[in-house]
């Protein structure tokens, strides 16, 4: 196997109770661990204590850790995670548990842990980590873990600054010589001008503050459509109003290659209206959009099941062919990262007539009241409704678009 200088350094020197690699995405942090994990497990075979792997969820552990281990070492040495949340790894029974909620790890509460591997540690519930501290109670107990940086007040960053028996490496994307030059340049371009450049490229623990979409706020004209868009199909996102917020629809187009995303049309209405009026407005909006573009799907705020059914009934009554579904409602910050990357790589455009969505992107702010996590400001002074509608319209295609 080929290793970078940083990876060799970890292999030779990471012998503390806590061994952590923090830093940029795609910097080689996790790849090293596909060889570290079997080394650690074999070193404690037959000794008292449990072997545990913790991650955001059991599903992410299967994708991020188990399947790559299987590809390198084979199914005989690395089994899938079974229904009882255990797997056989290199001759040892291993507990594979989600750490996003404290109740996920109650089954190992009170047990001694001889080895623990931690994936995506910053996504864990802090009580899980605090429990883990008291469970690594053998003289030979060790922890290996990786994370991408968050804000400087994050609980895990504070631990990394403590006087614990800790071996810490910090990575930038340039610490991985096995990435292609083209990939690195593209990723730097996609995160340029955002908080995510500092974190995912430079590997820095920096606060999210001020404008979220800095590039859009500083040079809005750059993203305004200059000519008629060439889109292959379009979707509609719907955010329902309430408690002073607005009803918002967003019609978003996608090019044939799925490389570019274009906000084509919008609807915004803040005053209180009846469900019947909302249904009529939606029907009118869908008919207008379908007259210009190939629109077959709409994605709505999943919290409002009654209103969603009303839209379906209204469209069916008018004979309008459109599939109306509940939005996936990914984490807001996943949606933020998606649009930041699109904007940085000039893959997002918006019609000049979509004035509410333009203003929403221009004025979106990080909430300064939250010091331990990133949160988009939603205090009634910013137009979150248009952003939600816009994001719902692209959620089903975000993964495919980012893979191009």
Query: Do 153 and 276 share a domain, yes or no?
Result: no
Mean pLDDT of the chain: 92
Which of 362 and 383 is assigned the larger pLDDT?
Answer: 362
Confidence of residue 102 (pLDDT cuts 50, 70, 90): confident
Tens digits of residue pLDDT in 285-344 = 999 999 999 999 999 998 889 999 999 999 999 999 999 999 988 888 899 999 999 999
Query: Do 136 and 220 share a domain, yes or no?
Result: no
Q: What is the pLDDT of residue 278?
A: 96
Mean pLDDT of 77-85: 94
Phi then psi dihedrals of residue 94, to 5 deg: -125, 130
In angstroms, the CA 150 to CA 154 distance is: 7
The CATH number of residue 123's host domain is 3.40.50.300
- Does any domain span residue 204? no
- Does any domain span residue 203? no
- Quote the tokens at residue 326: 């509940």
Is the distance from CB of 233 to CB of 293 less than 8 angstroms? yes
Q: What is the pLDDT of residue 385?
A: 94
Is the distance from CB of 300 to CB of 249 less than 8 angstroms? no
Query: Do 47 and 161 share a domain, yes or no?
Result: yes
Q: What is the pLDDT of residue 380?
A: 64
Query: Do 145 and 262 share a domain, yes or no?
Result: no
Confidence of residue 381 (pLDDT cuts 50, 70, 90): low
Mean pLDDT of 241-270: 93
- Quote the tokens at residue 20: 């952590």
Beta bridge partners of 326: 300
Query: Do 219 and 187 share a domain, yes or no?
Result: no
Phi then psi dihedrals of residue 86, to 5 deg: -120, 160
Domain boundaries, position 251: 214-402
Query: Do 326 and 224 share a domain, yes or no?
Result: yes
Count the domains in the chain: 2
Tens digits of residue pLDDT in 169-196 = 999 999 999 999 999 999 998 888 888 9
Among 317, 265, 314, 258, smallest CA distance to 290 is for 265
Query: Do 160 and 13 share a domain, yes or no?
Result: yes
5, pLDDT greater than 70: yes
The residue from 161, 193, 225 where one domain ends is: 193
- Does any domain span residue 186? yes
Q: What is the pLDDT of residue 108?
A: 76
- Full DSSP string of 327-395: -----HHHHHHHHHHHHHTT-EEE-TT-HHHHHHHHH-BB-TT-SSS--B--SSSS-HHHHHHHHHHHG
The CATH number of residue 386's host domain is 3.30.420.280
Radius of gyration of the chain (CA): 24
In angstroms, the CA 54 to CA 96 distance is: 6
Query: Do 115 and 225 share a domain, yes or no?
Result: no
In angstroms, the CA 212 to CA 362 distance is: 9
The residue from 193, 222, 242 where one domain ends is: 193
- Does any domain span residue 199? no
Query: Do 155 and 254 share a domain, yes or no?
Result: no
């Amino acid at each position: 196997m080929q290793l970078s200088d940083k990876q060799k350094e970890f292999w030779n020197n990471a012998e503390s109770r806590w061994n952590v690699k923090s830093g940029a995405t795609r910097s080689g942090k996790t790849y090293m661990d596909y060889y570290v994990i079997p080394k650690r497990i074999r070193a404690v075979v037959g000794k008292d204590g449990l072997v545990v792997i913790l991650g955001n969820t059991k599903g992410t552990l299967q994708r991020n850790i188990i399947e790559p281990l299987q590809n390198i070492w084979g199914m005989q040495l690395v089994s899938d995670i079974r229904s009882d949340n255990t797997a056989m790894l290199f001759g040892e029974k291993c507990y594979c548990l989600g750490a996003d909620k404290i109740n996920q790890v109650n089954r190992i509460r009170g047990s001694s842990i001889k080895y623990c591997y931690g994936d995506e540690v910053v996504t864990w519930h802090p009580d899980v980590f605090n429990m883990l501290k008291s469970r690594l109670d053998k003289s030979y107990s060790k922890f290996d873990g990786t994370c991408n940086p968050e804000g400087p007040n994050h609980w895990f960053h504070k631990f990394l600054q403590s006087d614990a028996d800790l071996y810490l490496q910090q990575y930038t994307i340039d610490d991985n010589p096995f990435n292609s030059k083209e990939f690195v340049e593209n990723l730097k371009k996609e995160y340029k001008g955002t908080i995510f450049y500092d974190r995912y490229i430079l590997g820095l623990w920096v606060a999210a503050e001020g404008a979220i979409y800095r590039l859009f706020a500083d040079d809005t004209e750059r993203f305004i459509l200059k000519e008629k868009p060439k889109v292959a199909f379009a979707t509609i996102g719907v955010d329902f109003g309430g408690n002073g917020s607005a009803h918002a629809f967003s019609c978003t187009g996608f090019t044939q290659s799925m490389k570019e995303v274009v906000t084509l049309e919008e609807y915004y209405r803040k005053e209180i209206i009846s469900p019947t009026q909302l249904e009529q407005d939606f029907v009118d909006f869908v008919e207008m959009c379908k007259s210009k573009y190939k629109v077959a799907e709409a994605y709505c705020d999943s919290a409002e099941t009654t209103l969603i059914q009303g839209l379906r009934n209204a469209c069916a009554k008018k004979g309008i062919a459109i599939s109306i579904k509940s939005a996936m409602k990914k984490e807001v910050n996943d949606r933020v990262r998606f649009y930041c990357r699109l904007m940085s790589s000039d893959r997002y455009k918006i019609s000049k007539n979509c004035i509410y969505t333009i203003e929403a992107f221009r004025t979106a702010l990080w909430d300064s009241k939250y010091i331990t996590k990133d949160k988009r400001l939603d205090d009634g002074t910013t137009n979150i409704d248009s952003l939600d509608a816009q994001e719902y319209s692209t959620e089903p295609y975000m993964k495919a678009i980012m893979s191009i």
